[in-house]
């Protein structure tokens, strides 16, 4: 009986002390670990200049077929009998055909040559091009040729001089990409587009 009373007294003494300790030193919940920051997507890699120019040359080779078919269609529709007859209309027709060709394929991301060289064209946010932006890129891509052609026309230069001017300007225009922070061609900068590396990525181990 005495032991029971002693235990009850001890409990009555200890209980208020525990409550006081809890009020004096409140227990704080464990600090939540900071949530990891969302990963930032780095800009897509720009293909090397040599790979882009190889794709450019391959594209030109494939265009021979497009131009041949378009020229044959034009001569059939207009009943053209002489190669020089209606050449300005033929040039306008080819300009239109090439515009449709590139606008369609660039709005899908790649031409056949670009697929071969694993290069894709996107807007600056990495999205697929709209057809108006693809058309704008087509118009601005004539900067590869218009400056030397503007010099050739008034001076009636020969085939050799014309070839030198064209090749020289193409090399200059390609090398000007080195002055862009991401090595993009300047007609892409003006059009708000970019060429990105589309090679399949190797799986991480």
Angle at which helix 87-108 crosses helix 131-140, to 10 degrees, equals: 130
**Average pLDDT of the chain, as a whole number:** 81
Helix (H) or strand (E) holding 123: strand 119-123
31 pLDDT exceeds 70? no
Question: pLDDT category, 28, cuts 50, 70, 90?
Answer: very low
Per-residue model confidence (pLDDT) at position 104? 97
Instruction: Answer whether residue 4 shows pLDDT above 90.
Output: no
Rounded CA separation 126/121 (Å):
8
104-119 residue pLDDT tens: 999 999 999 999 999 9
The pTM is what?
A: 0.74
């Amino acid at each position: 009986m005495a032991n029971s009373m002693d235990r009850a007294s001890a409990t009555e003494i200890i209980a208020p002390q525990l409550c006081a300790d809890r009020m004096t030193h409140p227990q704080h919940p464990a600090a939540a670990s900071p949530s990891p920051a969302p990963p930032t997507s780095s800009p897509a890699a720009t293909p090397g200049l040599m790979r882009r120019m190889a794709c450019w040359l391959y594209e030109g080779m494939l265009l021979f077929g497009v131009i041949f078919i378009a020229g044959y269609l034009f001569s059939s529709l207009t009943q053209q009998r002489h190669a020089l007859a209606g050449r300005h209309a033929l040039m306008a027709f080819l300009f239109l055909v090439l515009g449709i060709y590139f606008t369609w394929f660039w709005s899908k991301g790649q031409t056949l040559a670009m697929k071969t060289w694993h290069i894709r064209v996107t807007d600056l946010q990495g999205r697929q091009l709209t057809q108006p932006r693809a058309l704008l890129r087509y118009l601005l891509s004539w900067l590869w040729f218009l400056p030397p052609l503007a010099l050739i026309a008034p001076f009636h230069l020969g085939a050799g001089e014309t070839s030198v001017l064209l090749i020289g300007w193409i090399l200059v225009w390609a090398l000007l990409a080195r002055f862009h922070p991401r090595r993009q061609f300047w007609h892409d900068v003006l059009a708000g587009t970019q060429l990105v590396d589309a090679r399949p990525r190797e799986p991480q181990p």
